[in-house]
Amino acid sequence: MRPLPRRRLRKLLTATAALALLAAPLLAFAQDSLEPTGRWTARKPGAAATPPMGWNAWNAFRTEVDEAKVMGSAQALVDTGLARLGYVQVNLDDGWWLRRRQSDGQLEIRTAIFPSAEVPGGDSSFKPFVDRLHGMGLKAGIYTDIGRNACSQAWDLKSPNLPVGSTAEREVGLEDHVDQDIDLFFGTWGFDYVKVDACGLADYAPGAPVVGRNGYRPREPLIVRREPAKDASARIEAMYRQVAAAMARHGADGERVLSICTWGRGDVRAWGGEVGALWRTSPDISPRWSSMLRSFDSVATRSLYARPGAWNDPDMLYIGAGDFDENHLTEARSHFALWAMTAAPLLIGYDLRQAPKALLDIWAAADLVAVNQDPLGDQAVLVHHEGEVQVLLKTLSGGRKALALFNRGGQPAKITLTNEQLKLAADAPVVLRDLWTGKDAPGFTGRAAFDLAPRETKVFEVRGAPLIADGVLLSEIPARIHVAQEPSWPPPADGFDGPVGPAGHTGGAQADFSPYRTPLAAGGRRFAHGIGVLANSRLEVLAAGEFQRFSANVGVDDASKASGASVRLAVYGDGRLLARSKPLRAGDAPVALNAPIKGVKVLELVAVSSDAAAPPVVVWGGARMTH
């Protein structure tokens, strides 16, 4: 047999080596948990395909609630036209229960304040109340706690509407009664929504003054106030999964909503979207500007964790009180605009029986409601932060974007925007429409300056030629990205989850920034767009067979300069390895990864580090899918 010519032999050896490279294991230190699944593993949206909208009793009445107040506000939703805009959820909060009957464990309703719940023979039922709301075209929500006791029993001790009776009778929470109570709420009473608080896991520790003074049964805390690193996250998650499973068994047909309320604790960022339709990300909001900022900050960098059927929840709207009353309409509009942009639930917390027109006009801002309810389900990405001004950009259906310019501070501010920040072609004319007024605003090409009054938020619909003419940046479609696996870490003292970076910033996987909120950079090269995430992570991207090619420049982020770990990054399509990098370390130049993805339904972006304990940050710079 005649030997092959040297050039052909070289080509054959090169091809053989390439095939071997693709067939080899990712790295000797690859972790089995990062193996690709070949499918989209995020929970399919059922309930709450768009963020829930409606009304909740708590901010208006706390436990001083009654049927007349609730039905009056429900009727106002209908009469003002808010229900036609989507405000259909009417939610009870704490204060409705009387006791847990000991003969059979049944919850009893405080019929003195909910008279329609009184049933002949001394029993009680919310079915007439729920049926009345349903007859008005509205939906009904109820409140409970994941533990044995509720929040009011620790924090509202002067309330006239606390549970009464013996220690056992006053244990009105779900613990030890999950199946029974969920069947009651959904199967018997017909509610559509349940908010499950977590004070029962936090405030009744052995030796706590509130336990001894009030004769409660002590309970080992799974959430330790002011010490989030001590949260028993796995046990908290397991308890909420029990609730979700009970809802699936008892008439909750996939259209019923589970609202998780652990206030951002228990690592809920990692599991909330797999268990409930929304999960609280912060402590309770109050009608103060600083409190609103804290709640907003808890979701502003979490765009990769929200999608249809799974929403970050910075708590209810507090428009109408304190810093957001009718004398502070600039602040009230900012509060509403930020919740709309971040795809947060829009739950009014005001006595709507006496709402002034100025406040009704904010809740009824149809263009902003449409931004919140856009069917793509993308949460706005925080694309720029300069001084006190933050810029949020949200992809909308129909090739549009929503833009919010937010002045956090108490002084006037100016911000200059560029086409690149808006992810538009550099020479593209930018067309703006003011979403508060509905009128066209002056457009620009290249860059433009905007003036903002103290605490003002300007919101625009944006149109223009996209930066990626034949495709999309991954950071433009956060709802199509599922952070399937990433390292866990003890949260910082403020309770927000995420690794603490050199500048004190925290966060999980980020769009257009590192998890430390530093600009994406590898080997000294900056990337305006991309995904930043800790290594030992797996991201799923819903390609849905719509694209031909994936490309990115990958490397170890310069924020991890001190790390000596090596990382290898790989791209899978429907479970098949398509491309991967060589081992990379901090300081190495980024490497281009390109992969054909024609017909691929699910991409998986996997980064495996040699350091399992302290993996560095990796950059998927300029990550995009093109046609």
One domain for residues 177 and 227: yes
Domain boundary residue, one of 405, 436, 468:
468
Let me know if residue 499 belongs to a domain: yes
Average pLDDT over residues 23-31: 40
pLDDT higher than threshold 60 for residue 13: no
Buried b (16+ CB within 10 A) or exposed e, 70-102: bbebbebbeebebbebbbbbbbbbbbbbbbbee
Angle separating helix axes 329-341 and 289-300, nearest 10 degrees: 10
pLDDT digits (tens, 9 = 90+) for 346-375: 999 999 999 999 999 999 999 999 999 999
pLDDT higher than threshold 50 for residue 499: no
Instruction: State the Cα–Cα distance between residues 343 and 303, nearest whole angstrom.
Output: 9
The domain that holds 595 is classified in CATH as 2.60.120.1060
* pLDDT (0 to 100) of residue 229: 86
One domain for residues 177 and 208: yes
* pLDDT (0 to 100) of residue 122: 83
One domain for residues 107 and 147: yes
**H/E element, 247:** helix 233-249
pLDDT higher than threshold 80 for residue 497: no
Let me know if residue 534 belongs to a domain: yes
* pLDDT (0 to 100) of residue 25: 40
pLDDT digits (tens, 9 = 90+) for 263-314: 999 999 999 999 999 999 999 999 999 999 999 999 999 999 999 999 999 9
The domain that holds 168 is classified in CATH as 3.20.20.70
Owning domain of residue 617: 472-626
| Torsion angle (degrees, nearest 10) of CA 294, 306, 48, 624 | 140
The model's pTM is 0.93
Q: Which of 259, 42, 295 is nearest to 139 (CA)?
A: 259
**The token pair that represents 99 in the structure block:** 């006791």
pLDDT digits (tens, 9 = 90+) for 71-90: 999 999 999 999 999 999 99
Q: State residue 563 phi and psi, 5-degree precision.
A: -80, 135
Instruction: State the Cα–Cα distance between residues 329 and 362, nearest whole angstrom.
Output: 9
Average pLDDT over residues 37-50: 92
pLDDT digits (tens, 9 = 90+) for 191-244: 999 999 999 999 999 999 999 999 999 999 999 998 888 999 999 999 999 999
Query: CB–CB of 349/58 below 8 Å?
Result: yes
Ordered DSSP codes for 535-562: SSEEEEEE-TT--SEEEEEEEEBGGGTT
Instruction: State the Cα–Cα distance between residues 355 and 73, nearest whole angstrom.
Output: 10
Let me know if residue 579 belongs to a domain: yes
Instruction: State the Cα–Cα distance between residues 432 and 25, nearest whole angstrom.
Output: 50
Let me know if residue 339 belongs to a domain: no
Catalytic residue among 284, 494, 588, 611: 284
Domain boundary residue, one of 426, 446, 468:
468
Instruction: Please classify residue 411 by burial: count the beta carbons closer than 10 Å to its beta carbon, then call 0-12 exposed, 13-18 middle and 19+ buried.
Output: exposed
One domain for residues 482 and 528: yes
Token pair 């009417």: residue: 90
Let me know if residue 180 belongs to a domain: yes
The domain that holds 404 is classified in CATH as 2.60.40.1180
Domain boundary residue, one of 451, 468, 485:
468
Let me know if residue 26 belongs to a domain: no
One domain for residues 149 and 237: yes
Beta bridge partners of 554: 591, 620
Residue 197 annotated as catalytic: yes
Q: How confident is the model at residue 3 (pLDDT cuts 50, 70, 90)?
A: very low
One domain for residues 460 and 567: no
Beta bridge partners of 184: none
pLDDT digits (tens, 9 = 90+) for 142-160: 999 999 999 999 999 999 9
Mean of the per-residue pLDDT values of the chain: 92
One domain for residues 523 and 443: no
* pLDDT (0 to 100) of residue 9: 31
pLDDT higher than threshold 80 for residue 501: no
Instruction: State the Cα–Cα distance between residues 9 and 126, nearest whole angstrom.
Output: 80
Query: CB–CB of 514/617 below 8 Å?
Result: yes
One domain for residues 120 and 180: yes
Residue 297 annotated as catalytic: no
Instruction: Give me the number of domains the chain comprises.
Output: 3
Instruction: State the Cα–Cα distance between residues 519 and 406, nearest whole angstrom.
Output: 20
Token pair 């479609």: residue: 477
One domain for residues 200 and 94: yes
Let me know if residue 326 belongs to a domain: no
CA distances from 506 to 201, 509, 517, 566 (A): 25, 10, 7, 23
507 or 392, which is more confident?
A: 392
* pLDDT (0 to 100) of residue 531: 98
**3-class SS letters over 94-159:** CCCEEEECCCCCCEEECCCCCHHHEECCCEECCHHHHHHHHHCCCEEEEEEECCCCCCHHHHCCCC
Query: CB–CB of 258/276 below 8 Å?
Result: yes
Average pLDDT over residues 321-331: 98
| Torsion angle (degrees, nearest 10) of CA 32, 34, 37, 40 | 150
Average pLDDT over residues 449-471: 97
* Cβ atoms < 10 Å from Cβ of 13: 11
CA distances from 413 to 338, 381, 407, 456 (A): 18, 21, 7, 9
Let me know if residue 134 belongs to a domain: yes
Contacts of 48 (CB under 8 A, 6+ apart): 257, 277, 278, 308, 309, 311
Q: State residue 177 phi and psi, 5-degree precision.
A: -140, 25
Q: State residue 244 phi and psi, 5-degree precision.
A: -60, -40
Helices (H), 320-406: 329-341, 357-363, 366-372
Q: Which of 156, 137, 136, 168 is nearest to 197 (CA)?
A: 156
pLDDT higher than threshold 60 for residue 16: no
Q: How confident is the model at residue 12 (pLDDT cuts 50, 70, 90)?
A: very low
Instruction: State the Cα–Cα distance between residues 264 and 291, nearest whole angstrom.
Output: 15
Q: How confident is the model at residue 506 (pLDDT cuts 50, 70, 90)?
A: low
Q: How confident is the model at residue 30 (pLDDT cuts 50, 70, 90)?
A: very low
Query: CB–CB of 296/337 below 8 Å?
Result: no
One domain for residues 235 and 116: yes
CA 578 to chain CA mean position, Å:
31
* pLDDT (0 to 100) of residue 44: 87
Query: CB–CB of 419/430 below 8 Å?
Result: yes
One domain for residues 455 and 510: no
Catalytic residue among 94, 181, 192, 197: 197
* pLDDT (0 to 100) of residue 178: 98
One domain for residues 89 and 205: yes
462 or 3, which is more confident?
A: 462
Angle separating helix axes 67-79 and 127-135, nearest 10 degrees: 10
Q: Given the DSSP bridges, would you call strands 278-280 and 311-313 parallel, antiparallel or unpaired?
A: parallel
* pLDDT (0 to 100) of residue 453: 98
**The token pair that represents 148 in the structure block:** 């044995």
* pLDDT (0 to 100) of residue 24: 38
Q: DSSP letter at 270?
A: H
